[in-house]
Amino acid sequence: MKTITIFGIRSIIEAIKSGKSIDKVWLLKGVKSNLSEQLLYTLQSNNISFSYVPVERLNRFSEKNHQGAVARIAAFQTHQMEHVLEDITSNKKNPVFLLLDGITDTRNFGAILRSAAAIDIDAVFIPTSGSAPLNGDVIKASVGGAFKVPISKVANLKDVIYILNSHDIPTIAITEKAKKTVYECDLKGPVGLIFGSEDKGISSGLLKIIDKTAKLPMSENIESLNVSVACGVTFYELIRQRLIS
């Protein structure tokens, strides 16, 4: 069984809740908090093996902020594009799909997944190359959100766009090159939202085949927002429109 190492109390709790196979958990001796007690209860309730170890042992796994908890879990399983799209489009009236083009920063990727889980994004699509790996850094940055939204790796994001088009689901690229803002877009129906990296943006190949472009208004003194912030702002405009419709 392929495994990855994750760290952070809440990330481990969410991994357990999502049904992930937990191989082993290491806890720091002497840590006492409400969250650590919750983790301990969750481990015991699910009969998951754990050991108390000194901080030096945990630091071997990660020099990052592990919060006194490290776990070895089954490697992250992604979903097949055709299956996830067919299932969601067949069973949900106004699904929201997220396409991430070249997001390589693990903290940004994790933060995006956290926001995506918070508003129940139906599926996230990333290219098999040129994206941040689904590792412990991403999972911790997502605060467990990575376990709550289906993620699919695809050879080319164009394939996702073509399938969405076949289901009459419009695609909107969020780019500063657009003329209209997201506040002028109708986000109440089914939609595929596309975001690119801050340095390269959305690839020209994708921009040629999407239905619409939109931007977030900002001062001329700033070229672009952090991509995870841009996602969060767009997501909540989508939610706002759906709440008042």
* pLDDT digits (tens), the chain, 245 positions: 688 989 889 999 999 998 889 999 999 888 788 888 999 999 999 999 999 988 888 887 766 677 889 999 988 889 999 999 999 999 999 999 999 999 999 999 999 999 999 999 999 999 999 999 999 889 989 988 999 999 999 999 999 999 999 999 999 999 988 999 999 999 999 999 999 987 888 999 999 999 999 999 887 776 667 999 999 999 999 999 999 86
Q: Which ranges in the chain are annotated with CATH 3.30.1330.30?
A: 3-74
Query: Side chain identity at 158, as an amino acid letter?
Result: K
DSSP 21: P
Q: What dotted CATH number matches 3-74? A: 3.30.1330.30
Structure-block tokens of residue 67: 């919060």
Buried b / exposed e over 131-150, threshold 16 CB at 10 Å, is bbebbbbbbbbbbbbbbbbb
Query: Side chain identity at 87, as an amino acid letter?
Result: D
Measured CA to CA, the distance from residue 21 to residue 195 in angstroms comes to 31
Out of 3.40.50.720, 3.40.228.10, 3.40.1280.10, 3.30.2320.20, which CATH number does the structure's domain 81-244 have? 3.40.1280.10
**Rg of the chain over CA atoms, in angstroms?**
19
The answer to whether 190 touches 222, Cβ cutoff 8 Å, is no
